[in-house]
Amino acid sequence: MKLDPTKMKDWEIAAEAEKHMKTVYQLAEELGLEKEELLPYGHYVAKIDYKKVLERLKDRPNGKYIDVTAITPTPLGEGKSTTAIGLIEGLGKRGQKVIGALRQPSGGPTMNIKGSAAGGGLAQIIPLDKFSLGLTGDINAIMNAHNLAMVALTARMQHEANYDDETLAKRGLRRLNIDPKRVEMGWVLDFCAQALRHIVIGLGGKKDGYPMESKFWIAVASEVMAILAVARDLKDFRERIGKIVVAFDKYGNPITTEDLEVAGAMCAWMVDAINPNMIQTIEGQPVLIHAGPFANIAIGQSSIIADYVGLKLADYNVTESGFAADIGYEKFWNIKCRLSGLTPDCVVVVATIRALKCHGGAPIPLPGRPIPKEYFEENLEWVEKGCENLMHCVNIVKKSGVTPVVCINAFYTDTKAEIELVKKICEEHGVRAAVSEHWLKGGEGALELADAVMDACNEPSEFRFLYDLDEPVKSRIEKIAKEVYGADGVIYLPDAEAKIKLIEADEELRRMPICMVKTHLSLSDNPALKGVPKGWQLRVRDVLIYRGSGFIVPVAGDISLMPGTGSDPAYRRIDVDTETGKVKGLF
């Protein structure tokens, strides 16, 4: 059956492609994996024993390292995951040994408006249902590990409230004096559940827990997920888990998971999850899936471990940073690369004509609503104005010393004049631009992009970080705000000021990199401001301390760490064929 994205839905294309997909044993043979390095989960999904692979291939040179980012997102989407998959397919069509290292989707967006992160058209990851619905259980393990820390905390608070010091001592416990008003962690759930953002727990009698306010975050915002993304091995992972700050005591001292004697049990939940998962594109290239999304409220990167493995197994390793260059790539650049010791050979910046129009003055589309008719009509003025955002994102990449390639992710509604205008503007700014039709044509449609990326990978780069870890915390926050976002300055609210003072007094904390929490819909902290906003200041209202993953986390604007479910969520269209057991309706 010919796969035609103009006549078939994404899940229908995936279902047809799955009839002809390679087994994990075939993928392993093509990659040169040894039998004991492959950990199958059925015929088409597997984990890879990273430790054995890296030990065996420690002397093999790394392949080329490519990161895919984008312009500032719009409700229309830029197709960043689709482009990353299309590039993998395009490099495969060019005869290159290529692998992807991408992020696992969260159940929140999959069951909400955005849908899965499996790509689209002829640039997809399969098996779609396994990829979209939990894969091998990594996110479930993260939820269990995270929530176990909260179980340990709330149980300790209850016991300390009900027993004196002598009784606690007989039970092998020391009083921690946890301050119920300074509990840093909440619970996590992998759905968009706005009703759980602010809750009260422990209602009932003294046997029903300690009464206090609490909260839920989406699972991928958990610090456990962040640690999975940045840990170099299991030993590093275990050490980081023990440093997670769950709360503070009544004297302002941190209470960690190690203090609660729960860190080891948390790590036990994660032993299998630390190995990357392997599936494939619909054209049969291997893809490693490990760690999670949401660069606006988390690190938003696939794991360092997956990149280590991919770079040893293939000549090209394509990874992806969440959302746009201002948050996803900035975190890749200043956090992930700093912790991994790896530097990219090329960075792809994805743009669509539709998104450029949105940044250039077209009516802003609403999620779940029909696309305004203006997006289907040629408008060179809007495209040219929107290219200001594109060039801002390109310049962020250039600031890191890496060669950018602009991918014009083509849609059938784009006109030749609009595409030529973007290419002309890119040429005037000295940056490569490639048109890619991977959604419509798969790898064949991404050959121009693959060629541009291979050329860029051969250019010398002068990779450099934006800031030094010895700089004061405020100085680093302000560099990101001014040099990456384009802000005039930073305003710190009282809670943020207090946290920064605490951080600066702690030698270990103050040298941790910055992991900003900010809206992905604007370069600013106001999602309504498109293009390249001028004359604004970043408002930092709080600073979270992620001692385990090693981040200082400023929270800017009104963003929430628990997204909400919209009025027309994807789950309304998802069902199961009860004869075959196949899931239908995923997108």
CATH number of the domain where residue 218 is located = 3.30.1510.10
**What pLDDT, on a 0 to 100 scale, did the predictor assign at position 560?**
87
Q: Is-contact 408 417, C-beta < 8 A?
A: no
Question: Rounded to an integer, what distance in angstroms lies between the CA atom of residue 553 and that of residue 222?
Answer: 12
Catalytic residue list: 80, 82, 103, 114, 295, 323, 411, 439
* DSSP letters spanning 175-229: ---EEEEEE---EEESS--GGGSSEEE--SSGGG---EEE-EEEGGGSHHHHHHH
Is 74 part of any known ligand binding site?
yes
Q: Is-contact 88 5, C-beta < 8 A?
A: no
Specify whether 336 is located in the same domain as 453. Answer: yes
**What pLDDT, on a 0 to 100 scale, did the predictor assign at position 479?**
98
Specify whether 486 is located in the same domain as 531. Answer: yes
Specify whether 106 is located in the same domain as 150. Answer: no
Is 76 part of any known ligand binding site?
yes
Residue 89: inside a domain: yes
Question: Rounded to an integer, what distance in angstroms lies between the CA atom of residue 295 and that of residue 328?
Answer: 5
Q: Is 123 helix (H, G, I), strand (E, B) or coil?
A: strand
Is 519 part of any known ligand binding site?
no
Residue 1: inside a domain: no
CA dist 91 → 192, 276, 315, 444, 451 (Å): 36, 22, 10, 10, 8
Specify whether 400 is located in the same domain as 488. Answer: no
**What pLDDT, on a 0 to 100 scale, did the predictor assign at position 1?**
57
**What pLDDT, on a 0 to 100 scale, did the predictor assign at position 75?**
79
**What pLDDT, on a 0 to 100 scale, did the predictor assign at position 322?**
87
Is 311 part of any known ligand binding site?
no
Q: Which domain holds residue 528?
A: 473-556
Specify whether 335 is located in the same domain as 447. Answer: yes
**Residue partners of 47: CB distance under 8 A and separation at least 6:** 39, 41, 136, 272, 275, 276, 277, 278
**What pLDDT, on a 0 to 100 scale, did the predictor assign at position 379?**
96
Specify whether 49 is located in the same domain as 169. Answer: no
Residue 57: inside a domain: yes
List the CATH number of the domain containing 537.
3.10.410.10
Specify whether 176 is located in the same domain as 313. Answer: no
Residue 24: inside a domain: no
Specify whether 453 is located in the same domain as 377. Answer: yes
Going by C-alpha positions, the residue among 435, 439, 438 that lies closest to residue 448 is: 435
Is 75 part of any known ligand binding site?
yes
Among 457, 482, 516, the domain boundary falls at 457
Peptide bond into 344 cis (omega under 30): no
Per-residue confidence of the chain (587 residues) as pLDDT tens digits? 588 998 999 989 999 999 999 999 999 999 999 999 999 999 999 999 999 999 999 999 999 999 999 999 987 777 899 999 999 999 999 999 999 999 999 998 899 887 777 899 999 999 999 999 999 999 999 999 999 999 999 999 999 999 999 999 999 999 999 999 999 999 999 999 999 999 999 999 889 999 999 999 999 999 999 999 999 999 999 999 999 999 999 999 999 999 999 999 999 999 999 999 999 999 999 999 999 888 888 899 999 999 999 999 999 999 999 889 999 999 999 999 999 999 999 999 999 999 999 999 999 887 667 889 999 999 999 999 999 999 999 999 999 999 999 999 998 889 999 999 999 999 999 999 999 999 999 999 999 999 999 999 999 889 999 999 999 999 999 999 999 999 999 999 999 999 999 999 999 999 999 999 999 999 999 999 999 999 999 999 999 999 999 999 999 998 888 989 988 888 999 999 899 888 988 87
Specify whether 493 is located in the same domain as 551. Answer: yes
Specify whether 97 is located in the same domain as 222. Answer: no
Specify whether 337 is located in the same domain as 436. Answer: yes
Residue 463: inside a domain: no
Number of domains in the chain: 3
**What pLDDT, on a 0 to 100 scale, did the predictor assign at position 482?**
98
Please report, as a single letter, which amino acid is at residue 165. D
List the CATH number of the domain containing 376.
3.40.50.300
**What pLDDT, on a 0 to 100 scale, did the predictor assign at position 201?**
96
Residue 169: inside a domain: yes
Going by C-alpha positions, the residue among 283, 419, 358 that lies closest to residue 76 is: 358
CB atoms within 10 A of CB 268: 13
Question: Rounded to an integer, what distance in angstroms lies between the CA atom of residue 549 and that of residue 541?
Answer: 21
394, exposed or middle or buried, with CB in 10 Å at 0-12, 13-18, 19+? buried
Among 407, 426, 457, the domain boundary falls at 457
**What pLDDT, on a 0 to 100 scale, did the predictor assign at position 74?**
87
Is 77 part of any known ligand binding site?
yes
Q: Is-contact 115 4, C-beta < 8 A?
A: no
Question: Rounded to an integer, what distance in angstroms lies between the CA atom of residue 290 and that of residue 310?
Answer: 12
Residue 578: inside a domain: no
Is 73 part of any known ligand binding site?
no
**What pLDDT, on a 0 to 100 scale, did the predictor assign at position 505?**
94
Is 209 part of any known ligand binding site?
no
**What pLDDT, on a 0 to 100 scale, did the predictor assign at position 368?**
67
Specify whether 312 is located in the same domain as 450. Answer: yes
**What pLDDT, on a 0 to 100 scale, did the predictor assign at position 295?**
81
Q: CB-side exposure of 54: number of CA atoms within 13 Å?
A: 16
Q: Is-contact 122 436, C-beta < 8 A?
A: no
Among 201, 234, 269, the domain boundary falls at 269
Determine phi and psi for 571, rounding to 5 degrees. -60, -15
